[in-house]
Structure 1
Amino acid sequence: MTMKLEFPLLGLLAARSMTGYDIARWTRVEGKFSGLDRHPSQIYRLLSRMETEGWVSHVVDPRSTAPDAKVYSVTDAGFARLLRWVHSVYSPPRRFQDPEFIGRLRIAAMVDLPRALQLLEEELEARRRQVAENRGRDRGEDHLSEAARPEIDVHALALFADELNAYGEAAIDQWISWLERMHDVITQQLAQRAEQGATEQGTIEQGAAPSKSGSSERTGR
């Protein structure tokens, strides 16, 4: 699944205004861990198109010792587009740790925590089902009694296949463990916010309610 680069960029600019150079540096350093490493020329072309579409705008930051810089920010239209993407249907692909999921989760966490929790639940369900369907499957093609050609080392083939399979199982187990931990973290955050909201609402209601003595004085009792 290929994620459009415009959405991570809109997410970056929704959090803080940045120059094109700052964005290119982020994609080069941080983006490489989530499949977003891009050449600077691609970043600048995309920023220009996004500005034409009305999703971002820029102001010029004068520099005394360097060329003036364009500082980009997300417009209301751009933020609305970002929210539509975050809330659009997510279909987990066969490959886990997909860049689109990571991008959606990152942005959902900062704009809509319940949506982030929903994304985690959808991804968890898909990966648990993937493990249930594939763990312990017949792997006879990796364990041959003899090969079609005498040059093939069937013992080395089996050893490599077993190690690779063990690595894959450990990787998806670790991914599921991280998803479960994030699910717990966000669930706790939502519970704390709900409790805080209830406390604040109770305080407001107490402050708005007239006291009995004040009520008696106003009625002449």
Structure 2
Amino acid sequence: MKLEFPLLGLLAARSMSGYDIKRWCEVEGKFVGLDRHASQIYRELNRMQVDGWVQWQTDPRDGAPDAKIYTVTEAGLQRLRHWVRSSYVPPRRFQDPEFAFRLRVGMMLGEPGMSDLVRQELAARREQVRLNRDRPYDTETDDDRAEIDAEALDFIAREIRHQGERQIDGWIAWLERLLATIDTRAAAAKPKPDGRPEVSS
């Protein structure tokens, strides 16, 4: 996932300084694979400003250097919407940051098709389980390798595999709950005949 998309997503939610963005990446971003170095963030912000996707204004600071406060432009929002609507190919690794950010931005912008995105991710992970859950273990070692503890290798390989199975099962269960909630929210927001949204009681 290109760095421009999470940056545009953050700035679509609120105006931020480069320092604010860097702090977000250090605190929140590390949980979704976006703990980027400050130089990467500022370089990307400069490029996005040249491309017309963000703009900035000076925020004077007493006793400190002035700050640049970045805001997403209409062109930046269109770039973000185009990304959210573009084809999503689930990566081999589940819990990839792109899925979470695409979903986060799409929900924030009220984009249709977010339930389809979750269904696509869910189908990919169910297929992963189907293909891999019962495959045989391969922890064979050469007979002449006396320094290798084959029993310990077999034990830890099974433990690691079982932990991975628990993690993907948890991911699938979360996707199922999320899909049900998104579908419920969408149904509650369907407009009435007069064009106004339904108000759920």
TM-score computed with the length of structure 1 as normaliser: 0.84
Matched, 1:183 2:179: yes
Question: How many residue pairs end up in the alignment?
Answer: 197
| Contact kept? 1:113, 1:190, Cα under 8 Å | no
Match of 1:28 among 26, 29, 54: 26
How far residue 201 of structure 1 moved from its aligned partner, in angstroms, is: 3.8
Asked which structure has the greater CA Rg, the reply is 1
C-alpha distance in 2 between matches for 1:55 and 1:189: 31
Q: 1:102 to 1:148 in 2, by over 3 A?
A: farther
Greater than 2 Å deviation, 4+ residue runs: 112-115, 144-148, 199-203
**1:134-173 matched pairs, under 5 angstroms:** 134-139=132-137, 141-142=138-139, 144=140, 147-173=143-169
Equivalence for 2:80: 82
Equivalence for 2:98: 100
Matched, 1:47 2:45: yes
Q: Which runs of 5+ in 1 are unaligned?
A: 204-221
How far residue 70 of structure 1 moved from its aligned partner, in angstroms, is: 0.9
| Contact kept? 1:20, 1:71, Cα under 8 Å | yes
C-alpha distance in 2 between matches for 1:113 and 1:21: 29
Q: Which runs of 5+ in 2 are unaligned?
A: none
CA RMSD of aligned residues (A): 1.8
Q: 1:166 to 1:186 in 2, by over 3 A?
A: same
Counterpart residue identity of residue 24, structure 2: W
Q: 1:67 to 1:202 in 2, by over 3 A?
A: closer
C-alpha distance in 2 between matches for 1:46 and 1:103: 17
Question: By percentage of residues, which structure has more helix?
Answer: 1
How far residue 145 of structure 1 moved from its aligned partner, in angstroms, is: 8.4
Matched, 1:114 2:108: no
Q: 1:162 to 1:64 in 2, by over 3 A?
A: same
How far residue 39 of structure 1 moved from its aligned partner, in angstroms, is: 1.1
TM-score computed with the length of structure 2 as normaliser: 0.92
Counterpart residue identity of residue 149, structure 2: D
Structure 2 residue matching 1:89: 3-state secondary structure: coil
